[in-house]
Structure 1
Amino acid sequence: MATVETSQPKNQQNEADDASPSTTAPGVGTGDDEKVQSPVSNEDWEYSSQNPYNWSTQSKVLQVLMMASAAFTTSVGVSILSPAHIQFMEEFGVGSTVAILPLSLYVFALGLGPVVGGPLSETVGRYPVYLGFCFAPSLAIAGGTINETFKPVKRALPSTIFILTPFLGPGLGPVIGSFIVNRKGWRWTQWTMIFFGILTIIISLFAKETFHPAIKRRVASQFGRALSESPPLAFKLRFFMTIALFRPIQMLLSDPIVAFICLYVACQFATLFSFFAAVPLVFQGVYGFGIEDSGLVFLSIVVGCLLGALTVLICDVLLYRPRVAGFPGGHIPPEYRLFPAMIGSIGLPTGLFWLGWTARANISWTNPVVAIMIFAWGNLCVFVSTTQYIVDTYHGLTVASAMSANSLARYGLAAAFPLFTIQMYTKLGIGWASSLLGFIAVALLPVPWLFFVSGHKLRRVSRFETADI
């Protein structure tokens, strides 16, 4: 197996450095950048009770619960309406493509929310964005929250829990939606989403701010230390528009790590979302399933995601943590986060080819169900692993922006795929339509393997703030 080539850090970092993410823009949502003469030194901050790294387990659990509930509510809203496709066509007299537009527009909105919410959280703090009653930005800023609450060695479990929930939504949403649509009508799916939203807001009220610069500024204010004057509003708006708002797009277009990971994740995420149109076509058309039965097929995604989460945790225990002792201060090269992605990359094309060529009336329906489960397993392994890699690779203000770029890419592409999925499967047939998606997965399979070998070189030449180990 390929190994990660490492180099000595440019500047030896201690835990205090890690506990205080550095920033780049003077006067906007920063600690040092606001020239706060904090009453707490770096050493004191390391052991301060205000430091999220030192919070109680209960407080950290509440943060993870808030992120996970927001992510689940957001993602379940994508798919809970998908079983209403036929009802839309009949009630509104529209074609198949128009009937699936609500799903695509919802997904497209999920991509736009993080572009604003991610950088905004680096300006006003994370917590105000979580309380904004718009859950899409939470998909981008959660990476920053985890980075600020858990030290690198302890990030695997909370990262896995959070990232698992957006995948449970697409798996459980059609199950819930199929029974609701069939028995109560499509409008009750929206009432169900209101209930989920209220529960998420209640949970969010018990969480708190994690953005280190915002906390340090508050501590300085409590101690009566003088703070520099806030920059003019025009400067803040210019900073937000020119750097914060457009930086995710800039990273997506100019940083090879972000660009290729976003491309890989976006293609597989879009494939997952194409299942909302493909699964009913396959299981109702080939096997004669009803709306509720075809909805239950999506439980295979849930099972695959749970197996993927287990794989990530096993890789963390057996492959990642044993290497901690070999690096000073526990600062491990981010490339060691890619073990699950390398393993899961094999499952993606395998599941798609299996689905395409076993969905036959003379072959048991369990075969395509297992194939979907394998794809979901590989998809979660790749997504969790690459997300952890991004969180560990980028520092300071760039973490949330990199996650925003990731969200924009995957949800933008995922919004488009369902619009042509039915036509693709109808014209190409189930076998070749699934194989086409499988060939894309094969073409992108080397991405995590190449980063595992050469990621440290790309980090050195990146224009953005990255890990220097």
Structure 2
Amino acid sequence: MNGGVVTDERLQPDYEADDSSINNFEKSVSLKDLEGGAGQLPEQVHTHHGANGEATVYGDFEKDKEQDVEDLPTTTRVVTAQDWSSPDDPENPQNWSMLLRAYHTVPPALFGFTVTFGSSVYTPATHQITERFHVSSTAALLGLSLYVVGLAFGPVLAAPLSEIHGRNIVYKASLPIMMLFTLGAGFSQNFGSLLICRFFAGFFGSAVLAVGAGTNADLFPPRLRAIATSLFLLAPFAGPSLGPFVGGFAAQYKGWRWTQWCILFISIPVYLTCLPMRETYKKIILKRRAKRLGIAPPNGPAGLAAIKILAPYHFTISQVGLTFLAIGLGVAISTASAIITDRTLYQKRHRQALAEGRQHAAPEHRLYAAMMGSFGLPIGLFWFAWTADNGVHWAVPVIAAIPFAWGNLSLFISTALYLVDVYGSLNGASAVAANGILRYSFGAAFPLFTIQMYEKLGTGWATSLLGFISVLMLPIPWVLFRWGPQIRAESHYPTMIS
């Protein structure tokens, strides 16, 4: 008998050992031993399965000829599907070596840099896109705005999927899809296909913004988490800053399509870094371990989307994805309204400015869409808040996504145009990049407490809280429209005053 190791092939899940077999001998086995199969097997092996997914392993071990039975340990190991088997459980990512944990922080950071780089690398090419597809400068910026909208909405789906299938599969599946749509954007022969590919490139690439911080939480205890999270957030901050720099050279010397090729040149080596990654999400690790050992895992929530959508309305994962078509409809309406306001309200002011001897209309006239869209956010949020959890038909809260998406994109488009007009062609891209840094900061921080907020407050009040915040911020585009020139006059940076 060399260690009396038990393998899972000999376990009998439906058999509960009687007192005599238990008293014969109780042997402590490690999880590694259970799965490794090293050593000799006992003649009798039994497991007792508790109600909470626990499996206590009992064995009747032969006495080794050269070892007294008194020398063998006489404890019982409990392997559970709900928690780690011990504080030093080797499958717990927080017990991995520091080198291995440090490696697992690198791909999420590089992914974050690549995705945010992809947003701003496009901006230097807007003039060439205007000439190539014969669209206005407003329409050309939709390639940036729709990409950012994808970044905003992608994590809504990616975060719960990571809790259902694990973080690893989200990393390994999202970036290849993003690269395919980026490839499509680079080869686009018409403006519509360019916009569609840009939106979905941002949508699928944004998964890391939802699960990157969670990966760091899996790997490090709270006392070590701040450093890892800070380094993770540093990379997405660098992306919007370097994008216009690289995109400017690419567009000037190679053409606008090369701004998309630059994204691919970075994405391919970054993707290779994630291939050796292991799963870090605790629930998925325990679920897979329970399956290997024949232990029934406990039922539990599968994340925010499963709680708020799958459970009340009994949606499948594919049906949940279909609900996002409402967001697409809101985006389409917003695009149309932005073009209409540009062709009517803004162009009228622009012609008036030319008649008065000025080169451009005041930047504040870019804010018409934002002023209208500022009402869409609270309307959509309060609509969703008090219909999603009250037993009404599923279509009612889904429709609430339309005014929300309309208001959201209207604000994005107006903000981008306003910043470019205020800071001019030289500093406009930098202003948009700085705006992106603030936006992505909130995008990275909110997933850390959003689920807890919904669990504590419920759908109605948690979403209403966001609605109240949007109401407080609703006057911002109106204030800028009224007092923008006076505010800019105090700026230390060169801006358009008139």
TM-score by length of 1: 0.53
SS of alignment partner, residue 345 of structure 1: helix
Question: Could you tell me how far 1:319 is from its partner in structure 2?
Answer: 1.0
- 1:166 aligned partner, one-letter code: V
| Structure 1 stretch displaced more, 327-336 or 437-446 | 327-336
Deviation string 1:8-27 (CA, Å, 9 cap, x unpaired) is xxxxxxxxxxxxxxxxxxxx
Matched, 1:316 2:342: yes
Question: Could you tell me how far 1:425 is from its partner in structure 2?
Answer: 0.8
Whole-Å separation in 2 of the counterparts to 1:110 and 1:439:
33
Identify the residue that residue 31 of structure 1 maps to in structure 2.
Answer: none
Conserved? CA contact 2:489–2:497, under 8 Å: yes
Matched, 1:465 2:489: no
In 2 relative to 1, CA 179–444 (structure 1 residues): closer, same or farther, beyond 3 Å? closer
Structure 1 moving runs of 4+ over 6 Å:
92-95, 104-111, 172-186, 205-210
- 1:451 aligned partner, one-letter code: L
Identify the residue that residue 75 of structure 2 maps to in structure 1.
Answer: none
In 2 relative to 1, CA 371–278 (structure 1 residues): closer, same or farther, beyond 3 Å? farther
Structure 2: segments with no counterpart, 5+ residues:
1-82, 85-90, 95-104, 190-243, 254-301
Matched, 1:429 2:452: no
Question: Could you tell me how far 1:175 is from its partner in structure 2?
Answer: 7.3
Conserved? CA contact 2:120–2:144, under 8 Å: no
Whole-Å separation in 2 of the counterparts to 1:211 and 1:435:
42
Conserved? CA contact 1:171–1:300, under 8 Å: no
- 1:337 aligned partner, one-letter code: R
Question: Could you tell me how far 1:289 is from its partner in structure 2?
Answer: 1.8
Structure 1: segments with no counterpart, 5+ residues:
1-88, 96-103, 114-133, 217-275
Whole-Å separation in 2 of the counterparts to 1:454 and 1:321:
21
Deviation string 1:240-269 (CA, Å, 9 cap, x unpaired) is xxxxxxxxxxxxxxxxxxxxxxxxxxxxxx
Deviation string 1:311-362 (CA, Å, 9 cap, x unpaired) is 1111111211122211135411110000000000001011111111111352
Pick one of 374, 378, 394 that aligns with 1:365.
Answer: 394
Identify the residue that residue 117 of structure 2 maps to in structure 1.
Answer: 137
Pick one of 438, 449, 456 that aligns with 2:478.
Answer: 449
Matched, 1:298 2:324: yes
Pick one of 288, 295, 302 that aligns with 2:314.
Answer: 288
- 1:433 aligned partner, one-letter code: A
Pick one of 445, 460, 469 that aligns with 1:440.
Answer: 469
Identify the residue that residue 381 of structure 2 maps to in structure 1.
Answer: 352
TM-score by length of 2: 0.50
Question: Could you tell me how far 1:393 is from its partner in structure 2?
Answer: 0.7
In 2 relative to 1, CA 382–464 (structure 1 residues): closer, same or farther, beyond 3 Å? same
SS of alignment partner, residue 122 of structure 2: helix
Conserved? CA contact 1:107–1:414, under 8 Å: no
Question: Could you tell me how far 1:182 is from its partner in structure 2?
Answer: 8.9
In 2 relative to 1, CA 313–108 (structure 1 residues): closer, same or farther, beyond 3 Å? farther
In 2 relative to 1, CA 459–171 (structure 1 residues): closer, same or farther, beyond 3 Å? closer
Conserved? CA contact 1:394–1:465, under 8 Å: yes
Matched, 1:193 2:175: yes
Whole-Å separation in 2 of the counterparts to 1:432 and 1:94:
35
Conserved? CA contact 1:398–1:464, under 8 Å: no
Question: How do 1:9-24 and structure 2 match up within 5 A?
Answer: none
SS of alignment partner, residue 116 of structure 2: coil
Identify the residue that residue 407 of structure 1 maps to in structure 2.
Answer: 436
Conserved? CA contact 1:304–1:373, under 8 Å: yes
Identify the residue that residue 374 of structure 1 maps to in structure 2.
Answer: 403
Question: Could you tell me how far 1:181 is from its partner in structure 2?
Answer: 11
Question: Could you tell me how far 1:436 is from its partner in structure 2?
Answer: 0.5
- 1:322 aligned partner, one-letter code: K
What number of residue pairs does the alignment pair up?
Answer: 291
Deviation string 1:113-162 (CA, Å, 9 cap, x unpaired) is 4xxxxxxxxxxxxxxxxxxxx342232343444368659x9311111243
In 2 relative to 1, CA 361–436 (structure 1 residues): closer, same or farther, beyond 3 Å? closer
Conserved? CA contact 2:123–2:247, under 8 Å: no
